[in-house]
Structure 1
Amino acid sequence: MSRSRELLHTLVGFDTTSRESNLHLIEFVRDYLAGFGVSCELVYNEERSKANLFASIGPSEVPGIVLSGHTDVVPVDGQPWTTPPFELTEHDGKLFGRGTADMKGYIACVLALVPTLVQTPLRIPVHIALSYDEEVGCLGVRSLLSVLEQRPVKPMLCIIGEPTELKPVLGHKGKLAMRCDVHGEACHSAYAPYGVNAIEHAAELIGELGRLGRQLREHQDPRFDPPYSTVQTGVIAGGKALNIVPADCRFDFEIRALPSQDPGEVAEALQTYAMQQVLPRMKAVSPQSAIRFTELSAYPGLVTDERSQAAELIAAFSGSREFGTVAFGTEGGLFDAVGIPTVVCGPGSMDQGHKPDEFVSVAQLAGCDAMLLRMLDSIRA
């Protein structure tokens, strides 16, 4: 427990907000692992300003277990913190700091296990995977998975350590985030019919998006909350002044889809409506009118069979067969998509994640240490 707390103190001290580089943290982990004779592989982004890390301990010729976490955290800007966000603070059995729950607490526990791992004969390997830019669309891990996908021996299980209060999670929804830019024709508002009001046409598209969202309620899966796919518009901007017909309007929307549904179908339906119903009316007034859709981010959902080996293993490690789902997304669907069975289980609660005075309890951190030791006991040679 003291080792996990010490490592968490170091990890929280690195400001790895997604807009910043994560290399200082990655290089610390690389050097920490090297101190125990463990080499690692770094997979950089194009600018070499960020990197994923992958390390293996144990035999290389058999499938192993991946302990995976993302290194980036969300911003603290504008949040009323009462403790220093990038300095670990302990109070009343809680460890405060940005990323303590989401998800440096888990990474600290994984790193704390390394000295024991290297001293223990293992039947199967344990892999450590750390990614970047998870918080902005699960972007960074994709290049790492492209490397792992080509290897002849794939892991048998990946444990994503997002905060679930150490309850085993087998599923979450997928997400597609899109931007729609509507371009019309400006004119004086006294002559509004001679212009093309981009805000009004964007509003029509948003209304159609709502109608498509209501249709999604017809297909439900009680394992999820809410039990159906959802659609929402989260950002909108347009217009210069009340007496000017606005030429431009932009809105961002997202679809959070059940694993059995393709969020792209909703986006395609909206685009079809835009091109067949809305744009012709706009162009009839101004041929320069346009509607453009841009994908902002996307990741697949996750659903792991309760009867699978992955489910059996996480039940044994966590000590619980009360499998659940979570409302937030993870990198799990991406691991699963390249043939690595995946579950989600980690210390802390997302109720504290992304908030001021984020924390993980000392008890949860100790519980994660215990879960990882149970894993280790099960794979001893």
Structure 2
Amino acid sequence: MERLEDAIDMLSRLVAFDTVSSKSNLPLIDFVEAYLREQEVRFVRAPNASGDKAALFITVGPDADGGVILSGHTDVVPVTGQDWSGDPFTLRRDDKRLYGRGAVDMKGFDAACLAMIPEFKAARLSRPIHILLSYDEETTCLGPLDVIARFGADLPRPSAVIVGEPTSMEVADAHKSVATYVTRVRGFEIHSANLHRGVSAVHVACRLVCELERLGEALRAAGDPSGRFDPPFSTIHVGVIQGGTARNIVAKDCEFQWEFRALPGAPPNFAYDRLEDYCEELRRTIFVGFPGAGVETATEIQVPGLAPQPGSEAETLALRLARRNATIAVPYATEAGQFQRAGVAAVVCGPGRIDQAHQPDEYIDIAELAACLELLRGLAQQLRA
């Protein structure tokens, strides 16, 4: 019970930092580093290129390869426009729940890991436990890459990673990849009474969106051979479209933002390549004779999926610690795919329910936080000398 209260106190402190992805996380990192100095624990700060954000790589136990990383992110999604019943950055508590932005996604896991450091130290570990706190997970999932690149160089190379995104303490060994794009159409502007003498960027964009919808329906029909995902197919979604100047002007510009979430094993560039094939047809037809008219698609982010690795140390260890008999798959992307792509086995397992994430009055059940602490306690016992 004492450790649970420590975790709740730590969560209260972490929630108090407004670490929406558009802002710096350095005040939070400074706070955690001060705590680590008090605990006499080693850590390495890995700043981003602009220096306004940083990841933190923490080590308890021997300075050796073969450890286990507990991976969490420090950034949260915005609260703007959401109807909160209290201050999102002040942790509130009732009999069963803890409320605040990031409580479940995923400062609850971060707080549990940090609160367990005294027990990790007391366990006299034979293999290290690392805690990795990243940034920009909610926007790019690129936050841990600078740390990952140093594995086996000036940082020890781990043998397993547990990413603590909320899974209700189930063990997920698979998730979809995600790629996001912006497609920009340049038309030929003219008075709408002379529509035939121009090219409407809005009309062309609508054709492209319809092509993506047709492709999405084909992916839905193809389904998920594994039968593990919900929804059981790769998905395409157009989230934002904007363009045009006035009702009576043939639109010169239009752009739309879209995403492709692919099942493990599916080519991550599949949707982009198919849309580009369709765009090439348009370049040979409707854009001909109109100087400057055309269409281009830019890739914004690409987050790798997580593919099952049956029998990996990450899977075996997490199933044992979580007391589960089987793994699950989740439809959202995490940083786990980044570790797997670097050759380190990874799973996703953390406290709370994903449907509480990104919501007003976001919360984590206290019982879930307690269950996470038990898993972490078991990890220390597993790795002790």
Instruction: Find the counterpart in structure 2 of residue 223 from structure 1.
Output: 228
Say yes or no: does 1:193 pair with 2:196. Answer: yes
Q: 1:243 is matched with which residue: 236, 239, 248? A: 248
Mapped contact 2:105–2:166 kept (Cα < 8 A)? yes
Residue 118 of structure 2 is aligned to residue 130 of structure 1: no
The alignment covers a number of residue pairs equal to 380
CA distance in 1, matches of 2:237, 2:64: 46
Mapped pair 1:333 → 2:337:
yes
Which consecutive unaligned segments of at least 5 residues does structure 1 have? none
- Give the partner amino acid of 1:224: F
Of residues 200-209 and 4-13 in structure 1, the stretch that sits farther from structure 2 once superposed is 200-209
* Structure 2 equivalent of residue 98 of structure 1: 101
Amino acid at match of 1:132: Y
Deviation at 1:283, TM superposition (A): 2.7
Q: Counterpart of 1:298 in structure 2: which amino acid?
A: Q
Q: Is residue 259 of structure 2 the alignment partner of residue 254 of structure 1? A: yes
Q: Deviations over 1:59-112 (max 9, x none)?
A: 223301000000000000010000210001001311000000000000000001
Unpaired runs of at least 5, structure 2: none
Q: Which moved more, 1:258-267 or 1:186-195?
A: 258-267
Q: Is the 8 A contact 1:101 1:352 kept in 2?
A: yes
- C-alpha displacement of 1:47: 1.3
Residue 24 of structure 2 corresponds to which residue in structure 1?
21
Match of 1:269 in 2: 274
1:43 aligns with 2:22: no
- Separation of aligned partners in 1, 2:47 and 2:157: 21
**Closer, same or farther in 2 for the Cα pair 1:371/1:227, shift >3 Å?**
same
Match of 1:298 among 299, 302, 305: 302
C-alpha separation in 2, matches of 1:21 and 1:310: 31
**1:112 is matched with which residue: 101, 107, 115?**
115
Question: Which of 340, 359, 364 is 1:360 aligned to?
Answer: 364
The runs of at least 4 aligned residues of structure 1 exceeding 6 Å deviation read none
Q: What is aligned with 1:33?
A: 36
Q: Tell me if structure 1 keeps the 8 A contact 2:123–2:381.
A: no
1:152 deviation in Å?
8.0
Q: State the partner residue of 1:371.
A: 375
Counterparts of 1:364 and 1:56 in 2: how far apart (Å)? Answer: 25
Q: Is the 8 A contact 2:119 2:377 kept in 1?
A: no
| Cα distance between partner residues in 1 of 2:91 and 2:137 | 22
The answer to whether residue 319 in structure 2 is matched with residue 315 in structure 1 is: yes
SS in 2 for 1:167: coil
* Distance verdict in 2 for CA 1:80–1:379, change over 3 Å: same
Distance 1:50 1:199 in 2: 38
* Separation in 2, partners of 1:79, 1:306: 41
- Given that 1:154 and 1:339 are in contact with CA atoms closer than 8 Å, whether structure 2 keeps it comes out as no
Residue 243 of structure 2 aligns with an amino acid whose one-letter code is G
Deviation at 1:287, TM superposition (A): 2.3
Q: 2:185 aligns with which of 182, 185, 202?
A: 182
Match of 2:67 in 1: 64
Give the letter for the 1:148 counterpart: F
Task: Say if 2:75 and 2:137, in contact at 8 Å, map to a contact too.
Answer: yes
Deviation at 1:150, TM superposition (A): 4.1
Normalising by structure 2, we get a TM-score of: 0.96
Provide, for residues 329-353 of structure 1, a one-character-per-residue CA deviation record: whole Å limited to 9, x for no partner: 1000001111110010111111110
Q: How many percent of aligned residue pairs carry the same amino acid?
A: 40
* Alpha-carbon distance, 1:57 to partner: 1.3
Q: Deviations over 1:221-254 (max 9, x none)?
A: 3111112111111110011111111011101111
